[in-house]
Structure 1
Amino acid sequence: MERNNESLALISDKDIQELNDIRTKLEQTLMTKLRNAGIYFHSMSRVKTLTSLQRKLDTGKYGTGKDDKKIQDLIGIRINLFYTEDIRISEALLEDTFMVDNWSKTAWEENRFEAQKCNGVFKIPSKYLINISDQLWEQPFDRTFEVQLRTVLFEGWHEIEHEMRYKYKMDEGFDDNRSSLWDGQEKDARMMNSIIANLELCDWSIVQIFDNLARDQYIKKNWENAIRSKYRLKITQDKIKPEVRAYFDEHPEVVEKFWAVSKQQLVNILLNKKYQKVLSPNRVIYLINKEVVNDEFISAQLDREQFGRVLNKEIKQEIRPLVSDLVFDQRIRIRDDGFDRASEIIYEWAYQHISLIFGQMPKKMESVSYEVMGYKLKVVAEKEYFLMDMQTISNEEAGMIWHVVAELRKESDGLYLTCRHICENIYSRERRYNRPKFMRDIFNQVGFLDAGVFMDEDTEAVPISADQLKNLLSHDGRSLPVILVDKPEQIPDWAQDFDGYTINAEVLCKSLAGICHVFLGDESCISRMQEIYGNESVDGAVFYWGRDDESPTIFTQEAIRKACFEEVNHSVDEDEEYEKAFRYRLRELVCQEFH
């Protein structure tokens, strides 16, 4: 009973709930990528139980010191794969998705059979940890999660081994000196391990069987079966287009080029394509041709078709309630004489997006109202008032509806633009910031007014004084976040490329156009910051004020230099990766203000 009380003190109920939310998001990210790649898999996840955590802590192996070992699998995800080759493919996918802390793998030895382990530990992206209390990290827990990769054949053995052997090894023994379950059972333990040899042979044999089938089907010119057997991905039972089949029959040299593309190559191609996730034999041929072979006849036959929607007849339709996620919400004052041009920009955007559905929509702006199942458009175009309310079905993801409302209204103190963008989906999942393009176009062509500051496409990161900054931050009409960048007194070599600043303020200003102010601190401004926050914190730092913040979040020069990508690798020069990573982090912080 005493141990249970100690366990309950480890993590609060609120943090347990937050950890489960994080677990769901992490698992969903991996499941989406594996599905997009066509990989056969099952997944499961858990947050480690308090009893299990306490049991680990009782071993004395973990501590809270800087160099102490910490528990890294507070959140655990297990991916069970159908084919052993997919373990290496999934490793690469994980490394391209999250920041790796370490891998733990079993070294293969010719004369030794043991359970193959492929466990990866990854950093939990910091954006997921916002609502976790600081008290949690006072325990010997790392801000990481573990992913275990196994084949489905090994999964059953692992489950039995974990419950009936591993847990007994952790047991400290019995009070009456009776032995543990496996003490003195060397013969039985050896037999348990011998099962591994059979499972490994089964995994290898399955791959060999399908490789043999693929070669036989290739020789017989059964192209659909050859494709399915070779790649062992979730490929539909659809037939290849007759013209393509005849072309393959008559041109073996072309087929050889397609056959040379490996499963890993095809998976990489699939992960880079965001449109149409259903994988048919025709689509496999289309993608390989588009990315590798580039045969003109195949392009003529398949290119246009593969952008259309493929219906899977095996999918059973199910009516589900839609979950609404607000992905963009902004109200901003625009230039007083910009009503006509802003209205035109919004109307033109709506026409481009929905005129194929409502062919009667006039190209020249006027009030209209149309509605069919899944789609609607309402436009109110008056002298001093404009409204556009549009709903469309997503072309990229089943069960998703986009709903955007834009309004222009003249008020006593000026002309205001309001935009709300809502994603309605049958699946509950995190939706990211999504600003309609017309908002950027209005910013560029008309201009925004925020807290007395005019902004348009020519806006640059310019110096600001202490008094100007104070007036901006305290202005009742401020609706945008504010970023202030300081130039360090001693400019490091790595900062020369950014005009001496620790980040590229000009690029930051352009990337946040219309949703944030970006300024450079002049001498008076930095002196004021130093008086308040101290020289060490201010030198080369970046300050961030949210839309409702009175005090800034300060990113020191050291924190900026240590920035890294926590999710999704970006191809950049290694010497500048930290700078780009920090700008991405700032952009995420700003975008959170608008959804």
Structure 2
Amino acid sequence: MNDITHWVEEFEDNMQEYEIFIFHLQQKIERILKYNKIFYVKTEARVKSLDSFTKKLELKKDKYQNPLEDMTDILGIRIITYYSEDLDSILKLLKENFKIDYKNSANKLKSLKYNEMGYLSLHYICKYKPSQKNIYGCNDFKFEVQIRTALQHIWAQIDHQLRYKTLVDIPNKVQRKLFRISAMLESIDDEFDSIKHEVQVVENFYKDRFDEKEYSLRLDLSSINYYLKYNDHFIRSICKKLGVFHFNNFEVAKEEKLEKKLIKFALKFNKNRLIYIEKLVNRIYKNIDLILEKLDKNTLKKINYLVNSSCSFVITFLLLLNEDILEIQKIYKLTDFSLEKIKDLRKIILEISN
């Protein structure tokens, strides 16, 4: 039996162990990212295929004394991020949680000269630390972690498809186009980081105000959006008391449409400051037992059906407590009995507020 056949058989024998190892490793890395509040597009995990292992062994057979130990990319994890600034944060977490083989690792971002463009990604060869032996087992397996942004990933995939999966030589002119695109995407990544920082400045502005209970801000898309995020947990707790448990995670466009509707109704009732929304939410919270007592089952059933987010909660009660009673009948198709109950509730809450 020649050496290549021997190592291929060893590789096949280890395959199940590799698959189990990489599955648990991917889960661990995702837990680390989530715990540290690093939002990512996705992670990918793979074990090198038998065919790929064999070809690499045949090509570089003199390089490896023990291919299963010396080949650093048998196991691979890829982390795809939204922002380039997260790359360093993830690298820091890798250092904290694993032992890194710097000699065989590569930082493509630093290896390119200032006048070069092309493939950008972080490649780090890692192992579990000795102290983790008894926890995870298989700790002697090396694995490669690639970290790149979504834009870097797109470019790398297309570049690989065009340049390395083709049977013809790519003309220099076409290759230059590819590298120009790389430069453009790098600039776009920088712009996304910049926009993220600008958004954080706005969010910090509102957080500081809300932490100080300062709600006299003008009611607009920006202020209501952050108000609802800031108070989402509190509003959900009110909804649970009303028997509402089916909260949705809307896409941004749909949520913005709801927020525009909220502002439209608020302005209709001459409530042009955020303080009115804050008072409304607190009024409902303080009178939740009264609301459950006064509203009939039909109205509560409608509320349960209509409310599926913090925004729809505010809209629903903004209308119930302020809209013309005949309009409410049209909107919610309520009976006269239900409308009388709403009138009673309004009267009591108004008296309490005064």
- Partner in structure 1 of residue 207 of structure 2: 223
- Partner in structure 2 of residue 228 of structure 1: none
> CA shift at 1:57, angstroms?
1.1
Deviations 1:553-591 (A, max 9, x none): xxxxxxxxxxxxxxxxxxxxxxxxxxxxxxxxxxxxxxx
| CA gap 1:131/1:32 in 2 versus in 1, 3 angstroms | closer
**In structure 2, distance between residues paired with 1:69 and 1:215:** 48
SS in 1 for 2:15: helix
SS in 2 for 1:96: helix
Structure 2, unaligned runs of 5 or more: 218-228, 233-244, 251-354
- Partner in structure 1 of residue 123 of structure 2: 119
> CA shift at 1:211, angstroms?
2.3
- Partner in structure 2 of residue 464 of structure 1: none
| Contact kept? 1:83, 1:207, Cα under 8 Å | yes
- Partner in structure 2 of residue 200 of structure 1: 186
Q: Which amino acid aligns with 1:192?
A: L
- Partner in structure 2 of residue 80 of structure 1: 80
Deviations 1:90-127 (A, max 9, x none): 00011101111123112253322222121111014544
Matched, 1:104 2:110: no
- Partner in structure 2 of residue 31 of structure 1: 30
- Superposed, 1:102-501 pairs within 5 Å as 102=102, 103-106=105-108, 107=110, 109-124=113-128, 126-127=133-134, 143-166=141-164, 180-182=167-169, 185-215=171-201, 221-223=205-207, 244-246=212-214, 281=230, 313-314=247-248
| CA gap 1:39/1:186 in 2 versus in 1, 3 angstroms | same
| CA gap 1:70/1:164 in 2 versus in 1, 3 angstroms | farther
Deviations 1:237-271 (A, max 9, x none): xxx8x56332999xxxxxxxxxxxxxxxxxxxxxx
Deviations 1:13-58 (A, max 9, x none): 5x21111110011111110011112211110100110111111112
Q: Which has the higher strand share?
A: 1
**In structure 2, distance between residues paired with 1:51 and 1:80:** 26
SS in 1 for 2:11: coil
Structure 1, unaligned runs of 5 or more: 133-141, 169-179, 225-239, 250-279, 284-310, 317-595
> CA shift at 1:189, angstroms?
1.2
Taking only aligned residues, the RMSD between alpha carbons, in angstroms, comes to 3.8
Q: Which amino acid aligns with 1:159?
A: Q
| Contact kept? 1:62, 1:68, Cα under 8 Å | no
Q: Which amino acid aligns with 1:35?
A: K
| Contact kept? 1:118, 1:148, Cα under 8 Å | yes
**In structure 2, distance between residues paired with 1:128 and 1:92:** 22
Q: Which amino acid aligns with 2:192?
A: I
> CA shift at 1:223, angstroms?
2.9
> CA shift at 1:166, angstroms?
3.5
SS in 1 for 2:195: helix
**In structure 2, distance between residues paired with 1:181 and 1:128:** 49
> CA shift at 1:144, angstroms?
0.5
| CA gap 1:222/1:181 in 2 versus in 1, 3 angstroms | same
Deviations 1:135-189 (A, max 9, x none): xxxxxxx831000000011111212222332456xxxxxxxxxxx4225x11111
Percent identity between the two aligned chains: 25
| Contact kept? 1:20, 1:47, Cα under 8 Å | yes
Deviations 1:219-251 (A, max 9, x none): xx4338xxxxxxxxxxxxxxx8x56332999xx
> CA shift at 1:60, angstroms?
1.9
| CA gap 1:7/1:51 in 2 versus in 1, 3 angstroms | farther
| Contact kept? 2:73, 2:143, Cα under 8 Å | yes
**In structure 2, distance between residues paired with 1:131 and 1:112:** 40
| Contact kept? 1:99, 1:122, Cα under 8 Å | yes
| Contact kept? 2:80, 2:149, Cα under 8 Å | yes
Q: Which has the higher helix share?
A: 2
| CA gap 1:217/1:29 in 2 versus in 1, 3 angstroms | closer
Q: Which amino acid aligns with 2:126?
A: F
SS in 2 for 1:9: helix
SS in 2 for 1:195: helix
**In structure 1, distance between residues paired with 2:124 and 2:195:** 29
**In structure 2, distance between residues paired with 1:166 and 1:91:** 28
| CA gap 1:52/1:130 in 2 versus in 1, 3 angstroms | same
| Contact kept? 2:81, 2:150, Cα under 8 Å | yes
Deviations 1:192-211 (A, max 9, x none): 11110111011001111232
SS in 2 for 1:80: strand
TM-score, scaled relative to structure 2: 0.52
The more displaced of 86-95 and 58-67 is 58-67
> CA shift at 1:131, angstroms?
6.9
**In structure 1, distance between residues paired with 2:141 and 2:203:** 49
Q: Which amino acid aligns with 1:163?
A: Q
**In structure 1, distance between residues paired with 2:94 and 2:106:** 14
| Contact kept? 2:21, 2:138, Cα under 8 Å | no
Q: Which amino acid aligns with 1:206?
A: F
Q: Which amino acid aligns with 2:206?
A: N
| CA gap 1:63/1:115 in 2 versus in 1, 3 angstroms | closer
Deviations 1:373-421 (A, max 9, x none): xxxxxxxxxxxxxxxxxxxxxxxxxxxxxxxxxxxxxxxxxxxxxxxxx
